[in-house]
């Protein structure tokens, strides 16, 4: 029997967190290539530490995109985040690039040749999830964790000089009869100016937490933790080494659903780690938006070089209004789940990825230029028609 009354916690990290700095740089390189060639191949990793950034990975695209271009784009990304600190500065940081051409062995498995359709860029499993806990059809703990940090970042970009780029949040919610009813604790650690008063920081954070959580959901005062170490001046890559792809649970569902293990950032959409995770979120969200279930989890699996998915699994956790077996048959009819089919259905061959690098890849508003297209609910009518809903 499913547990109905419990506590559940999720965390988020800001755009200035060292790992997210790396995600932002890697996705900026992806956008650089896709803007020049929508069918470019990119798999770029970033490492960042005290005033030092390393780029590595494999690419295939226009020859005019070179190491100097990559390093310039990395500086622009760091500047956009807001790092102008002694230990990490967009202008002064040393940046080295070891990016090289894509392996021909991988390319021949992925490329469409003759009668062979484009294959998956790797083997693996990917999950998508949706639930009715928030209007965005996301688990509430991760969604509120993201919103708190995004609000702090907006205040910082608007000119609040007390706040630094690096921050983390953690929200614990109480569930009663399977539904979230309020916060039992909130933790926010935010980088700040050296002369900032901790009491002032606490009240500033409180404003954004209260504005984010539903009315009456604020945790008890003794469970509201702001900078619990007492000081957070040294932050970002100067305080902790960052790497691309280390925040995959932050990027997805905050632990409320499984993760296949593959990171998103730095990868072009032929990589099913990214594109199939977007596709399964899209399908799961449409199932819930159509009223066919309160929760929906979808898994797909692929083999490298093979276009068709090897499996499709659907679980509605006993909340479904329709047969899960039929759902598993209908969904691939509404969306071609081959790598090419996903890219074309969601319009993924566009420079739309740097914006995904912080505050979650899911639960976002679709953009007019095609960004976050996997958050659309344009299959609702077709699903309702299929099931007579």
344 in a known ligand binding site: no
247 in a known ligand binding site: yes
Are 222 and 278 contained in the same domain?
A: no
Residues 6+ apart with CB under 8 A from 56: 44, 45, 46, 47, 97, 98, 99
Are 179 and 262 contained in the same domain?
A: no
33 in a known ligand binding site: no
Are 287 and 227 contained in the same domain?
A: no
369 in a known ligand binding site: no
**How many other CB atoms are found less than 10 A from the CB of residue 82?**
18
24 in a known ligand binding site: no
pLDDT tens per residue across all 389 residues of the chain: 578 899 999 999 999 999 999 999 999 999 999 999 999 999 999 999 999 999 999 999 999 999 999 999 999 999 999 999 999 999 999 999 999 987 655 555 565 545 456 888 789 999 999 999 999 999 999 999 999 999 999 999 999 999 999 999 999 999 999 999 999 999 999 999 999 999 999 999 999 999 999 999 999 999 999 999 999 999 999 999 999 999 999 999 999 999 999 999 999 999 999 999 999 999 999 999 999 999 999 999 999 989 999 999 999 999 999 999 999 999 999 999 999 999 999 999 999 999 999 999 999 999 999 999 999 999 999 999 999 86
Q: Is the pTM of this model over 0.85?
A: yes
Asked if residue 43 lies in contact with residue 268, where contact means CB atoms within 8 angstroms, the answer is: yes
Residue 182: inside a domain, yes or no?
yes
307 in a known ligand binding site: no
31 in a known ligand binding site: no
271 in a known ligand binding site: yes
Residue 165: inside a domain, yes or no?
yes
167 in a known ligand binding site: yes
Where do runs of H (alpha helix) occur along 88-245?
Answer: 104-110, 140-157, 198-212
The Cα–Cα gap between 95 and 67 comes to 10
Are 199 and 165 contained in the same domain?
A: yes
Residue 57: inside a domain, yes or no?
yes
208 in a known ligand binding site: no
Sign of the CA dihedral running 340, 346, 347, 351: negative
350 in a known ligand binding site: no
Residue 239: inside a domain, yes or no?
no
Are 226 and 248 contained in the same domain?
A: no
Tell me the pairing of strands 163-176 and 224-226.
unpaired
Tell the burial category of 56 from Cβ atoms under 10 Å away from its Cβ (0-12, 13-18, 19+).
middle
Tell me the pairing of strands 88-89 and 94-101.
unpaired
Are 146 and 191 contained in the same domain?
A: yes
240 in a known ligand binding site: yes
CA 209 to chain centre: 21
Are 255 and 382 contained in the same domain?
A: yes
Are 221 and 365 contained in the same domain?
A: no
**Domains identified in the chain, total number:** 3
Domain at 288, CATH number: 3.30.300.10
Are 268 and 227 contained in the same domain?
A: no
Residue ranges making up the domain that contains 36:
18-101
CA 237 to chain centre: 20
Structure token digits, residue 25: 């740089």
- Residue pointed to by tokens 């990589």: 271
């Amino acid at each position: 029997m499913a547990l109905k009354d419990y506590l559940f916690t999720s965390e988020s990290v800001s755009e200035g967190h060292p790992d997210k700095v790396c995600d932002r740089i890697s996705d900026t390189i992806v956008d650089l290539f896709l803007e020049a060639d929508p069918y470019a191949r990119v798999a770029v990793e970033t490492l960042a530490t005290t005033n030092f950034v390393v780029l590595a990975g494999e690419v295939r695209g226009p020859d005019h995109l070179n190491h100097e271009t990559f390093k310039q784009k990395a500086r622009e990304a760091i500047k956009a985040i807001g790092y102008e600190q002694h230990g990490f500065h967009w202008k002064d940081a040393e940046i080295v690039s070891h990016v090289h051409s894509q392996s021909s062995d991988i390319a021949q498995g992925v490329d469409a040749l003759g009668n062979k359709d484009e294959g998956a860029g790797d083997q693996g499993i990917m999950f998508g999830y949706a639930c009715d806990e928030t209007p965005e059809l996301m688990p509430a703990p991760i969604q509120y964790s993201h919103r708190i940090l995004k609000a702090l970042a907006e205040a910082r970009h608007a000119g609040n000089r007390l706040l630094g780029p690096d921050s983390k949040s953690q929200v614990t919610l109480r569930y009663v009869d399977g539904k979230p009813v309020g916060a039992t604790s909130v933790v926010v650690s935010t980088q700040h100016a050296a002369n900032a008063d901790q009491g002032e920081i606490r009240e500033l954070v409180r404003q954004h937490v209260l504005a984010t959580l539903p009315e009456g959901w604020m945790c008890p005062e003794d469970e509201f933790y702001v900078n619990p170490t007492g000081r957070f001046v040294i932050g970002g890559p100067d305080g902790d080494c960052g790497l691309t792809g280390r925040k995959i649970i932050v990027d997805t569902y905050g632990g409320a659903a499984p993760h296949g293990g593959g990171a998103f950032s730095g990868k072009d959409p032929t990589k099913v780690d990214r594109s199939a995770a977007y596709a399964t979120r899209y399908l799961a969200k449409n199932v819930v938006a159509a009223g066919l279930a309160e929760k929906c989890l979808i898994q797909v699996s692929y083999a490298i070089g093979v276009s068709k998915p090897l499996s499709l699994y659907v679980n509605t956790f006993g909340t479904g209004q329709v047969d899960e077996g039929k759902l598993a048959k209908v969904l691939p009819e509404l969306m071609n789940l081959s790598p090419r089919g996903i890219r074309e259905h969601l319009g993924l061959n566009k420079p739309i990825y740097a914006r995904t690098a912080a505050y979650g890849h899911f639960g976002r508003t679709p953009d007019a230029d095609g960004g976050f297209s996997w958050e659309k609910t344009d299959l609702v009518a077709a699903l309702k028609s299929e099931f007579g809903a």
